[in-house]
Structure 1
Amino acid sequence: MLSSLPPTGMPKRPPRVPRPAPVPRVDSPRLATLARRLEACGQEAAGAEGAAAEAVAEFWREVAAVGAPLIEQDPQGDPEHAVVTFVWRGSQDTRAVLVLPNKVIDPREPDRNLMDRLPGTDIWHWSVRMRRDWRATYALCVDEPDAEQAPPPAASHRGGPPPAGGRPAPADAAGPADPGYIAWLRGQGRPDPLNPRALPRRWGGAQQSVVRLPLAPSEADWQVRDGIPRGAVSSHPVRSAALGTERRVWVYTPAGRPAAGAAPGPDAAPGAGARADLPVLVLFDGEMWQPELGVATLLDNLIADGRLPPLIALLPDSLDSDTRWSELACNDRFVRFLSDELLPWAAARWPVTDDPARTVLAGQSLGGLMAAYAAVRAPHRFGNALAQSGSFWWPDGPQGQWLTSLLEAAPEHPAHPVRFWLSAGEQEWVLLPANRRLPAVLRTKGYEAEYREFNGGHDYLCWRTELADGLTALLAECIAAPAAGQAAAPAAGYTAAPAAGYTAAPAAGGTSGATAGRADAPVSPPAG
């Protein structure tokens, strides 16, 4: 167990680190073909205007048929890469379009993410070359006057004085991007109306669209299935002396277990070959994982497939950004809440284990930092830490990577073994060095630590599949072996529905569709 206390009063922000390599802009093969066709139309004396209009209309029909963004073959012939082309159908009033894929932007050169307009058309476009296992959420930020859009700052995004009326200059004007204009433009994000798949964002705002290349990890585990047992989700207030407040906690109980918090009794009797006490998952940011993303669907599927044991999941609410920063950044009061209050509260209501080897803490970003910190602070309660894109850089400043440095100075051979499962995105340049350092330090101190990287960013789209892999790895030994003479249950057959947490993206100016999945997952407001 660690003895040093964490620093306090640290800045609530990650380090400001430049992107090590520029965003990989390329030309779209499809749009290059269209540009040549339009040029040929312009050289024809008769019917040129109609032929050009038909060529553009044909392009938009193709986009409507296949959806956006366009996934094109790599011009270099590399089967492991593709060209991803984001498009926007503009109007005569469109002045600029900024595309923001998660972590595929350089803060030093944000105008590299400004779309170009194909001259003489309504086609705005932006293309990058990415490996075929990439996935990301993204937003389109559009300067296109409408009744709901706030006016931009009185400065041209290309420099120079604004035109009459305080509007910015057209996007194809010469000169560098104005930082104030770009900052305003980033606030105009909206989902891609040509892409039906979207995910909500934390703390409200417009939904994010989803791009997944063909070799990206499958999301089949998040699809709602017919014909499998389904657990229940309930919400409970939990009073905490450690935090000095009441905290809402969502609780997932597997099929066949009491959902409303009844004390362990006859209803908790195990099936053949199973234990009475269930493994426990504590998953931070419960307000995102269940009401918005429907994580119960994932747990139902993994349990039905025999890849997870039946378990109880506790999902505490993070409330808001300030509370999250305060509690998840190595806060010992929050560790006491988890170990001394939340687990006993659950044990009084459900047949949960007190075995740390069958208890998992899981979190993302600051939640990943807390998962690792709480496990080394209270290893007698938490024997597994699942940290995704952990903020192990914390805090920003001279004491950076505090937890890793503390572990590095600690004695070897911990009294209580803790298993770590860590992952981070290849596009997360700010936190990658710290995430690569921690598992090496853990192994030198005698901990079991698995670490891997995925092709993505700081993104729930990536964390969804990574969460499934981490849980199945950490809890594999908890799956009950079949009783003598009893065959292992096969994976349940199912009919796939849309993945839980996804919604139909609204058309421009429209409203979002209903959340696919569980009845207990409410419709997500347009979230950002």
Structure 2
Amino acid sequence: MYCNWLHQAHIGSPEWWSRLEQHGSPWITPAEDGGYWASFFWQDPQGSEQLSKIQRVWLNITGVTDHHQGKDPISLQRILQTDVWVAEIKLTPQWRGSYMFIPSMLDDDFQGNAEDMYTLRRWWQNTFVNGTEPAADKLNPARHWFGGRGHCVSPLSMPDAPPQTAWQSVDQGQESLSHSRLQTYQWHSQILGNSRDIWTLGLGQPTHTRPLAIILDGKFWTQQMPLPVALESLTQQHRLPPAVYLFIDSLDNQQRAHELPCNMQFWDAVENELLPQLSQWEACSCAAETTIIAGQSFGGLSAAFAILNKPHLATSAICQSSSFWWPNRHHDASDSFMINALQQQQFSHVPRKFFIEAGIREKLIYRANEQVVSLLKQANHQVIYRDVDGGHDALCWRGGLTDGLQAIWSGHHFLESGALSYEQI
């Protein structure tokens, strides 16, 4: 049941594309079961099938058509004798996520067992390489960004998805608000034997009572998904306290995979090298009871590992889509380092606070997170756990990240009444 755009006269004409561009895409229409149909369009730059070598336009939607779902990959379909490619996907009312198009001159449909997540994952990885450059949706007026694989993606949220009001200015392209306050420094680590950029953001009056939040994958959160804009907006609304934010770059994927998963040396370096330098740059409190460490994927695992092993450094963590399956994604989640350590009660009994989110569409991570949450509660840690109708996706993480900061810090009475609290989430 394609939308009315496909029934208009002169489909594929310059006037038709101009009207679609003015309206914006994807086109969202209600479904009878309470969900929504999303219609995606892509314009073939080579023209119709008589002129174009494009055989497929793969639609990669995080947590919907990617390797997590155990289903054959989906390609848009060409409307014959036009340059129009189209696909229609039904999505649940609260779903949110990113997507991209991957045009290909090959008709190399997936031939394996789609229920084998690892085979399907390899097929997608090869498609990213063998297809033409993966692309964001030019018809989507919302702000695009480069995701973890280095490809440009577009955002999409269903009408009933949780609100992300703090990000409205970012989505509208007004993202330079905080950059005058964002400072860049070089951290030369003798312990780690490398150097990297780090960023600091100080909001509010520079006092030594401002709490500290350490944000992993700092380059992404300052450049691709500009968290400082949302933080400043929430601070001005008194929904976040005046605070200092320390953003730590991950260098590259290889170094990230080495330093973040349960690596004590990394956190020794942060504690003994980086934080003493921070005191020279920003006035803040580094008191463990008000310091938050936040991360996603390997970063979420690292944040949990840090506060469990170093409660004198920080006692609160925001862990999103955390890779609690580590070190081997091919094994059952119960074989994970973190799950085994919690089961064996390897950590001290100092109470910690956790804000944990996992996407219901990232199956391996979701299962591992549920196990970790149960074990943390059994150890009498304070845990907020939310499952999210989405996948392994920064578009979901960004809202949870600001919610987590509000929830944890509101418990320390920094905020005025009405701010988000542990009990309200």
From 114, 121, 134, the equivalent of 2:75 is: 114
Shifted more, 94-103 versus 281-290: the winner is 94-103
User: Considering only CA atoms, is the larger Rg found in Structure 1 or Structure 2?
Assistant: 1
Residue type at the aligned position of 1:407: L
The 1:474/1:333 distance shift into structure 2, 3 A limit, reads: same
The 1:304/1:329 distance shift into structure 2, 3 A limit, reads: same
Shifted more, 389-398 versus 428-437: the winner is 389-398
The 1:182/1:301 distance shift into structure 2, 3 A limit, reads: closer
Alpha-carbon distance between aligned partners in 2 of 1:320 and 1:230, rounded to the nearest angstrom: 23
1:254 pairs with 2:206? no
More helix by share: 2
The 1:99/1:440 distance shift into structure 2, 3 A limit, reads: same
Match of 1:103 in 2: 63
Match of 1:459 in 2: 393
Alpha-carbon distance between aligned partners in 1 of 2:55 and 2:179, rounded to the nearest angstrom: 49
1:360 pairs with 2:292? yes
Shift of 1:460: 1.1
Shift of 1:281: 0.2
Residue type at the aligned position of 2:145: P
Alpha-carbon distance between aligned partners in 1 of 2:57 and 2:406, rounded to the nearest angstrom: 41
Of the two structures, which has the highest relative contact order with CA contacts closer than 8 Å and spacing of 6 or more?
1
Alpha-carbon distance between aligned partners in 1 of 2:295 and 2:374, rounded to the nearest angstrom: 20
For normalisation by structure 2, the TM-score amounts to 0.83
Alpha-carbon distance between aligned partners in 1 of 2:97 and 2:241, rounded to the nearest angstrom: 30
- Over the aligned positions, Cα root-mean-square deviation in angstroms equals 3.1
The 1:467/1:192 distance shift into structure 2, 3 A limit, reads: same
The 1:217/1:59 distance shift into structure 2, 3 A limit, reads: farther
Alpha-carbon distance between aligned partners in 1 of 2:412 and 2:180, rounded to the nearest angstrom: 18
1:422 pairs with 2:345? no
Helix, strand or coil at the partner of 2:224: coil
Residue type at the aligned position of 2:156: V
Equivalent pair of 1:219/1:465 in contact (CA under 8 Å): yes
Q: Which deviations, in whole Å up to 9, do the C-alpha atoms of 1:304-351 show, x marking residues without a partner?
A: 111111111111110001110000011110111122222232234433
Match of 1:157 in 2: 108
From 443, 447, 457, the equivalent of 2:381 is: 447
Alpha-carbon distance between aligned partners in 2 of 1:143 and 1:230, rounded to the nearest angstrom: 39
Match of 2:159 in 1: 214
1:336 pairs with 2:268? yes
Shift of 1:210: 1.5
Q: Which deviations, in whole Å up to 9, do the C-alpha atoms of 1:80-131 show, x marking residues without a partner?
A: x101111123322132211111122254977531112234443321111111
Alpha-carbon distance between aligned partners in 2 of 1:187 and 1:378, rounded to the nearest angstrom: 46
The 1:372/1:53 distance shift into structure 2, 3 A limit, reads: same
From 408, 411, 423, the equivalent of 1:474 is: 408
Equivalent pair of 1:390/1:424 in contact (CA under 8 Å): yes
Alpha-carbon distance between aligned partners in 2 of 1:229 and 1:142, rounded to the nearest angstrom: 37
Alpha-carbon distance between aligned partners in 2 of 1:229 and 1:59, rounded to the nearest angstrom: 39
Alpha-carbon distance between aligned partners in 2 of 1:489 and 1:116, rounded to the nearest angstrom: 49
Match of 2:22 in 1: 65
Match of 2:90 in 1: 129
From 109, 129, 141, the equivalent of 1:196 is: 141
Alpha-carbon distance between aligned partners in 1 of 2:142 and 2:189, rounded to the nearest angstrom: 39
Unaligned regions of 5+ residues in structure 2, if any? 111-122, 420-425
Helix, strand or coil at the partner of 1:72: strand
Equivalent pair of 1:309/1:479 in contact (CA under 8 Å): no
Residue type at the aligned position of 2:340: S
Match of 1:401 in 2: 336
Match of 2:182 in 1: 233
1:382 pairs with 2:311? no
Shift of 1:53: 5.1
Alpha-carbon distance between aligned partners in 1 of 2:223 and 2:415, rounded to the nearest angstrom: 33
Match of 1:139 in 2: 100
Alpha-carbon distance between aligned partners in 2 of 1:139 and 1:194, rounded to the nearest angstrom: 12
Alpha-carbon distance between aligned partners in 2 of 1:53 and 1:72, rounded to the nearest angstrom: 20
Percent identity among equivalent residues? 27
Residue type at the aligned position of 2:350: H
Equivalent pair of 2:97/2:396 in contact (CA under 8 Å): yes
Alpha-carbon distance between aligned partners in 2 of 1:200 and 1:464, rounded to the nearest angstrom: 13
The 1:95/1:473 distance shift into structure 2, 3 A limit, reads: same
Alpha-carbon distance between aligned partners in 1 of 2:223 and 2:237, rounded to the nearest angstrom: 23
Equivalent pair of 1:63/1:70 in contact (CA under 8 Å): no
Match of 2:303 in 1: 371
Equivalent pair of 1:231/1:255 in contact (CA under 8 Å): no
Alpha-carbon distance between aligned partners in 1 of 2:418 and 2:318, rounded to the nearest angstrom: 27
Alpha-carbon distance between aligned partners in 2 of 1:222 and 1:373, rounded to the nearest angstrom: 29
Residue type at the aligned position of 1:64: E
Match of 1:345 in 2: 277
Alpha-carbon distance between aligned partners in 1 of 2:38 and 2:184, rounded to the nearest angstrom: 41
1:277 pairs with 2:277? no
From 355, 362, 365, the equivalent of 1:431 is: 365
For normalisation by structure 1, the TM-score amounts to 0.68
1:84 pairs with 2:16? no
Shift of 1:240: 2.2
Alpha-carbon distance between aligned partners in 2 of 1:212 and 1:124, rounded to the nearest angstrom: 22
Match of 1:18 in 2: none
Q: Which deviations, in whole Å up to 9, do the C-alpha atoms of 1:259-296 show, x marking residues without a partner?
A: xxxxxxxxx3xxxxxxx421000000111111222211
Alpha-carbon distance between aligned partners in 2 of 1:109 and 1:351, rounded to the nearest angstrom: 50
Equivalent pair of 2:240/2:415 in contact (CA under 8 Å): no
The 1:205/1:431 distance shift into structure 2, 3 A limit, reads: closer
Residue type at the aligned position of 1:157: D
Residue type at the aligned position of 2:108: H
Match of 2:114 in 1: none
Shift of 1:134: 1.3
